[in-house]
Amino acid sequence: MTRTDYFSMKFSPIFLTSTSISATSLTWAVLCLAITTFLGTSFAAQAGGPELKVNAERIEQHILALAEFGKNPEGGVSRVAFSEADIAGRKYIIGLMETAGLKVRVDTAGNLIGRRGGTENLPVIMFGSHSDSVPGGGNYDGDVGVMGAIEVAQVLNENGINTRHPLEVVVFVDEEGGLVGSRAMTGELSGPALGVISHSGLTIEEGIRVLGGNPERLDEARREPDELAAFVELHIEQGAILDDGDIDIGVVEGIVGIQWWDVTIEGSANHAGTTPMHKRNDALLAAAELIQAINQVITSEPGTQVGTVGRISATPGAPNVIPGKVVMSLEIRDLSAEKITRLYRQIRAEAASIEKRYKTPISFQHLDVDAVPAPTDKRVRAIIAGAAESLGLSYIAMPSGAGHDAQDMAQIAPTGMIFVPSVGGISHSPREFTYPRDMANGANVLLKTILRIDESGLGKSS
Contact letters for ligand GLV, residues 382-411 (x by CB under 6 A):
--------------------xx--------
CB half-sphere exposure, 91, CA atoms < 13 A: 9
Q: Interacting stretch for Mn ion, rule CB under 5 A, among 133-141, 208-216, 249-257, 340-348? A: 133-141
Among 141, 168, 289, 370, indicate the residue that binds Mn ion (CB under 5 A): 141
Residue 417's DSSP bridge partners are: 233
Q: How far is the CB of 425 from ligand GLV (least distance, A)?
A: 13
CA-CA-CA-CA torsion sign (393, 394, 396, 401): negative
Residue 432 in the binding site for Mn ion (CB under 5 A): no
Is 220 within 8 Å of 108 (Cβ atoms)? yes
Q: How far is the CB of 67 from Mn ion (least distance, A)?
A: 15
Residue 176 in the binding site for ligand GLV (CB under 6 A): yes
List of E strands, 257-383:
257-266, 270-271, 306-308, 312-315, 321-322, 325-334, 362-366, 374-375
Residue 439 in the binding site for ligand GLV (CB under 6 A): no
Phi, psi of 113 (to 5 degrees): -130, 120
Query: What is the C-alpha to C-alpha distance for residues 150 and 128, in angstroms, rounded to an integer?
Result: 8
Residue 142 in the binding site for Mn ion (CB under 5 A): yes
Closest CA to 31 of 59, 54, 50, 53: 50
DSSP 261-287: EEEEEE-B-EETTTS-GGG-B-HHHHH
Task: Please identify, using beta-carbon distances, which residue of 138 and 166 lies nearer to ligand GLV.
Answer: 138
Task: Please identify, using beta-carbon distances, which residue of 141 and 331 lies nearer to Mn ion.
Answer: 141
Task: Please identify, using beta-carbon distances, which residue of 177 and 213 lies nearer to ligand GLV.
Answer: 177
Query: What is the C-alpha to C-alpha distance for residues 203 and 212, in angstroms, rounded to an integer?
Result: 15
H or E element: which one contains 397? strand 395-400
Q: How far is the CB of 403 from ligand GLV (least distance, A)?
A: 4
Q: Binding residues for ligand GLV, how many (CB under 6 A)?
A: 3
Q: Nearest 5 degrees, angle CA 193-CA 199-CA 200?
A: 105
- Return the one option of Mn ion, ligand GLV, none that residue 403 interacts with (CB less than 5 to 8 A, by type): ligand GLV
Q: How far is the CB of 317 from Mn ion (least distance, A)?
A: 29
Q: Interacting stretch for Mn ion, rule CB under 5 A, among 80-88, 136-144, 280-288, 324-332? A: 136-144
Q: How far is the CB of 269 from ligand GLV (least distance, A)?
A: 33
Residue 81 in the binding site for ligand GLV (CB under 6 A): no
Q: Interacting stretch for Mn ion, rule CB under 5 A, among 34-42, 75-83, 137-145, 243-251? A: 137-145
Q: How far is the CB of 141 from Mn ion (least distance, A)?
A: 4
Q: How far is the CB of 402 from ligand GLV (least distance, A)?
A: 4
Residue 181 in the binding site for Mn ion (CB under 5 A): no
- Return the one option of Mn ion, ligand GLV, none that residue 285 interacts with (CB less than 5 to 8 A, by type): none
Count of C-beta atoms within a 10 Å radius of residue 273: 8
Q: Interacting stretch for Mn ion, rule CB under 5 A, among 76-84, 140-148, 315-323, 382-390? A: 140-148
Task: Please identify, using beta-carbon distances, which residue of 56 and 417 lies nearer to ligand GLV.
Answer: 417
Q: For residues 32-61, which are near Mn ion according to CB under 5 A? A: none
Is 447 within 8 Å of 56 (Cβ atoms)? no
Residue 5 burial (C-beta neighbours within 10 Å; 0-12, 13-18, 19+): exposed
- Return the one option of Mn ion, ligand GLV, none that residue 416 interacts with (CB less than 5 to 8 A, by type): none
Task: Please identify, using beta-carbon distances, which residue of 281 and 407 lies nearer to ligand GLV.
Answer: 407
Query: What is the C-alpha to C-alpha distance for residues 421 and 101, in angstroms, rounded to an integer?
Result: 29
Query: What is the C-alpha to C-alpha distance for residues 187 and 191, in angstroms, rounded to an integer?
Result: 12
Residue 326's DSSP bridge partners are: 265, 314
Task: Please identify, using beta-carbon distances, which residue of 138 and 324 lies nearer to ligand GLV.
Answer: 138
H or E element: which one contains 235? strand 228-237
Q: How far is the CB of 287 from Mn ion (least distance, A)?
A: 26
Q: Interacting stretch for Mn ion, rule CB under 5 A, among 54-62, 139-147, 193-201, 435-443? A: 139-147
Count of C-beta atoms within a 10 Å radius of residue 277: 6
Query: What is the C-alpha to C-alpha distance for residues 7 and 440, in angstroms, rounded to an integer?
Result: 13
Contact set with ligand GLV (CB under 6 A): 176, 402-403
Contact set with Mn ion (CB under 5 A): 141-142
